[in-house]
Amino acid sequence: MIGIVALILIVLSIAFWYYYARLEKFFLIPKSNDIITTEVTECNLISDMTEKKNCEEEGYAAWQAVIKFQASNKKDAKFCEIIPSGVERDICFLELVNVVPDPQVCARISDSILKGDCSNNLLAQSNDFTACKTIQDAGDRHYCFEKIIISYDGGGEKLCPSLSGEDMNICWEIYYIREAVSRVDYGLCQKVPTVAGIKNCLERLPPDSDGDTLSDYMEIAIYKTNPLKADTDGDGYSDGEEVKTGHNPLGK
Ligand SMILES: [Ca+2]
Ligand SMILES: [Ca+2]
């Protein structure tokens, strides 16, 4: 009797094993240790034996994040060199250049786009407003100007008047657009020195169809004035002027 039960159990075990072995083979059910296998492979590319061991213990993602932090914290590119070549290593250098503004750091990046980003970061840190103009991509160029304005001691109000010609116009445009957008103030756009710049600034703000310095949204939602009529109550003072001076734009 015991023999029969044992036999049945053995047969069932073999059937169970066979079923799952086949399923895994033919339907490619992912094994739970697939992720670990990938990380071990990436860790294998590390030549430093101590770091390789750390990588295997912590997992590749966590390990390389620590190395990037160390590189920026200790301001030393040698930490980035430990990361196997690829995007993560490039990003390590790209982050490092924010604290070590040295062209040599960017030179170690292999990806051409990231290398370009790195050079742009360097220019933005140089505080050389004119140098930003050498950046081809309009968005990156704008970022470069903006970064210099923000980080300048005293901000745009101090930096812009110290520049001349086109540089000064670019500086004021970026400065007033930032201020106008953050305060939703149409009047600040009028301070931009060029006509194109004023238009550019106004386009970033919610529409003000009647040009009374109150956005359509504010007129409808807050002041209950006519968004298509600058002087809703017809008393000779625009809705914007009345709101600014504390009067009732609805004339009551
Ligand atoms: Ca309006
Ligand atoms: Ca009025």
Q: pLDDT, tens digit, for every residue of 12-62? A: 666 656 555 555 544 554 445 555 555 568 899 999 999 999 999 999 999
Which ligand is in closest contact with the Cα of 235? 2
Same domain for 133 and 118? Answer: no
How many A from CA of 140 to the centre of ligand 1?
33
Which residues fall inside 5 Å of ion ligand 2, going by CB?
A: 231, 233, 235, 237
* pLDDT reported for residue 2: 63
Which ligand is in closest contact with the Cα of 238? 2
How many A from CA of 218 to the centre of ligand 2?
15
Ranges of beta strands (E only) in 84-180 are none
Residue 170 in domain: yes
Same domain for 98 and 166? Answer: no
Which of 215, 209, 168 is closest to 192 using CA atoms? 168
* pLDDT reported for residue 188: 93
Same domain for 251 and 221? Answer: yes
* pLDDT reported for residue 77: 95
How many A from CA of 213 to the centre of ligand 1?
6
| 3-class secondary structure, 203 | helix
Same domain for 50 and 120? Answer: yes
Same domain for 121 and 193? Answer: no
Residue 13 in domain: no
How many A from CA of 225 to the centre of ligand 2?
9
Same domain for 98 and 45? Answer: yes
- Cβ-contact 201, 176 below 8 angstroms: yes
Which ligand is in closest contact with the Cα of 210? 1
* pLDDT reported for residue 120: 87
Mean pLDDT of 190-207: 92
* pLDDT reported for residue 11: 65
Residue 113 in domain: yes
CA distance 239 to 250: 8
Give the count of domains, the chain: 3
Which ligand is in closest contact with the Cα of 186? 1
pLDDT digit string, tens, across residues 110-167: 999 999 999 888 888 888 888 898 888 888 889 889 989 998 989 999 999 999 999 9
Which ligand is in closest contact with the Cα of 227? 1
pTM metric for this prediction: 0.58
Same domain for 80 and 146? Answer: no
Q: Is 100 exposed, middle or buried (0-12, 13-18, 19+ CB in 10 A)?
A: middle
pLDDT digit string, tens, across residues 85-111: 999 999 999 999 999 999 999 999 999
Residue 199 in domain: yes
Q: Is the pLDDT of residue 176 over 90?
A: yes
Same domain for 182 and 149? Answer: yes
How many A from CA of 250 to the centre of ligand 1?
14
Sign of the CA dihedral with 225 first, then 227, 229, and 231 last = positive
Same domain for 106 and 133? Answer: no
Residue 105 in domain: yes
Residue 120 in domain: yes
Q: Is the pLDDT of residue 229 over 60?
A: yes
Which ligand is in closest contact with the Cα of 209? 1
* pLDDT reported for residue 251: 87
How many A from CA of 240 to the centre of ligand 2?
8
Q: Is the pLDDT of residue 7 over 90?
A: no
CA distance 120 to 35: 36
Same domain for 120 and 133? Answer: no
Which ligand is in closest contact with the Cα of 236? 2
Residue 28 in domain: no
Residues spanned by the domain of 78: 39-125
Domain end position, chosen among 101, 125, 149: 125
Same domain for 95 and 132? Answer: no
Same domain for 105 and 133? Answer: no
Domain end position, chosen among 162, 177, 203: 203
